[in-house]
Chains A and B, each alone.
Chain A
Amino acid sequence: MAAEHDVAQHTVTAGEYIAHHLTFLNGTGAAQKNLVDFGLINYDTVFWVVFLAVLGGFVLWLAARRASSGVPGRFQAAVELLVEMVGDQAKGLIHSAESRKFVAPLGLTIFVWVFLMNAMDFLPLDLIPRIWEGLYAGMGHDPHHAYMRVVPTADINATMGMSVTVLLICLYYNAKIKGIGGWAHELVSAPFGTSKNPILAVVLGLVNFAMQLIEFAAKTISHGMRLFGNMFAGELIFMLIALMGAAWTGANLPSILLFFGHFVAGFAWAVFHILVVVLQAFIFMMLTLVYVGQAHESH
């Protein structure tokens, strides 16, 4: 988030700086051209999601390994607090104890993982990209193409990947709890009901089914896009703040004012971002629990 003086190099304009920071490392050395291209993969996102999953999993495993019914230490108490919080929320939203055996750990995983992915925003904006630039150049590549994005949740692939997984889990529970027949009946009879008149019933069925599809799509897309939008915007604002400090041209008044602005804005946004990071992780977890809970309820 803090400005390393990338822009100060006269060859890089503010636009280029931001564009560079918003380009994924996908092996082509350039931004992806097509909206959807499954031949490409963002190595930086994949690396960081795996790294953070391993880190989060390790921390949780440490707490789980030491878990005992005796007096807990601070670390164990903190993890237990988290587990209790997720467990309580799951209990309130999903009434099947059998489903909770999967859904409660799912919620915990989401909260911890999304929190860690969001928290990557707290690292200095240019820290990891600069290190990567050095490594990339050291491997004999052009450092201008050393792209590195460190906030995985600012990659729509990551957030949509998670929200689509949640959708699949919801579809599984719909079929499991209501049975294929029961669920199929619900798909054509809710939310507008059905009719005894066969023609009307078909019309209503189509309308209902369309509504159900829209509902699933809206839930899933808004689920993934909300997190992506928040984190992408947060990252972008850190970049814009960084530009203020990067505009340093010497000990003149505009430069000093911009530097001061960078400090104030950077500090304020970082503090606010603490809230955003935790809140978005919590919202993603809660929505997952709510959607899975809805999959358990018949209309």
Chain B
Amino acid sequence: MNLNATFIAQIVVFLTFVWFTMKFVWPPIVKALDERASKIADGLAAADKAKNDLALTEKRVGEELRKARESAADVRGGAEKQAAVIVEEARAEAARIVSAAREAAQGEAATAAQRAREELRAEVAALAVAGAERILRREIDAQVHAELLTNLKQELN
């Protein structure tokens, strides 16, 4: 164990090696380590967030399904109600049309009866006139005797 100039050489080499490590080795490795640590932290946070998002989405999907089911039931109920209303209306309309038709038929029938009666009357009047002609044996001027004929017609009513 003797000291000599090796001692000085060792100090120089030592400081050079430390400088090299400080300059070219330590910073890039530590930087990479820190970056990786923050990357991992970000990744974990993202995974947590995704898990939360998934749970939220599932909840929302359930909610939407429930709503859709409810609204479908509503729609079905509404449609049934509406169908009933429509059927009811149609039935009323049909009844109305039937009664209107019946009325019209009745009116027509009445009119026809009236007309037939009037025709009959006119024919009877003509017959009466013809009969009277025959009776009187002379021609009665229908124009001259219109008033008489009309009165006769009226009496026949």
Distance to closest chain B CB from A118 (angstroms): 15
Indicate if the CB atoms of B21 and A109 lie closer than 8 Å: yes
Indicate if the CB atoms of B7 and A160 lie closer than 8 Å: yes
Please tell me the size bucket of the interface on A: 35 or more
Q: Does A228 make an interface contact (CB < 8 A)?
A: yes
The A-contacting residues of B in range 105-144, CB under 8 angstroms, are: none
Chain B minimum-CB-distance residue to A82? B29
Indicate if the CB atoms of B25 and A108 lie closer than 8 Å: yes
Q: Does A209 make an interface contact (CB < 8 A)?
A: no
Indicate if the CB atoms of A40 and B22 lie closer than 8 Å: no
B interface, by DSSP: helix, strand, loop or mixed? helix
Also in contact, A53 and B13, with CB within 8 A (given A67-B31, A105-B25): yes
Indicate if the CB atoms of A67 and B32 lie closer than 8 Å: yes
Interface contacts (Cβ under 8 Å), in number, total 136
Mask for A40-58, Cβ within 8 A of B = 1, else 0? 1110011001100100110
Indicate if the CB atoms of B11 and A46 lie closer than 8 Å: no
Indicate if the CB atoms of A79 and B9 lie closer than 8 Å: no
Q: Does A113 make an interface contact (CB < 8 A)?
A: yes
Expressed in whole angstroms, the Cα–Cα distance for A297 and B11 within the complex equals 26
> Which listed segment binds A: B33-41, B44-52, B53-61, B77-85?
B33-41
Indicate if the CB atoms of B35 and A69 lie closer than 8 Å: yes
> Which listed segment binds B: A31-39, A126-134, A179-187?
A31-39
A interface, by DSSP: helix, strand, loop or mixed? helix
List, in ascending order, chain B residues with CB within 8 A of A45's CB. 6, 9-10
Indicate if the CB atoms of B16 and A53 lie closer than 8 Å: yes
Distance to closest chain A CB from B5 (angstroms): 4
Expressed in whole angstroms, the Cα–Cα distance for A104 and B39 within the complex equals 24
Expressed in whole angstroms, the Cα–Cα distance for A182 and B117 within the complex equals 146
Distance to closest chain A CB from B108 (angstroms): 100
Q: Does B62 make an interface contact (CB < 8 A)?
A: no
Also in contact, A56 and B33, with CB within 8 A (given A157-B7, A164-B11, A165-B11): no
Indicate if the CB atoms of B11 and A64 lie closer than 8 Å: no
Also in contact, A64 and B28, with CB within 8 A (given A156-B3, A161-B8): yes
Indicate if the CB atoms of B6 and A157 lie closer than 8 Å: yes
Q: Which of A32, A34, A57, A228 contacts B21 (CB 8 A)?
A: A57
Interface residues of A (CB under 8 A from B): 24, 26, 31-32, 34-42, 45-46, 49-50, 53, 56-57, 60-61, 63-65, 67-70, 72, 79-80, 83-84, 87, 101-102, 104-106, 108-109, 113, 155-158, 160-162, 164-165, 228, 232
Interface residues of B (CB under 8 A from A): 1-11, 13-18, 20-22, 24-26, 28-33, 35-36, 39
18 residue pairs bridging A and B, Cβ less than 8 Å apart: A36-B2, A38-B7, A53-B13, A53-B17, A57-B25, A64-B29, A67-B28, A69-B35, A79-B29, A83-B26, A87-B30, A105-B18, A106-B18, A109-B18, A157-B10, A158-B6, A161-B11, A165-B14
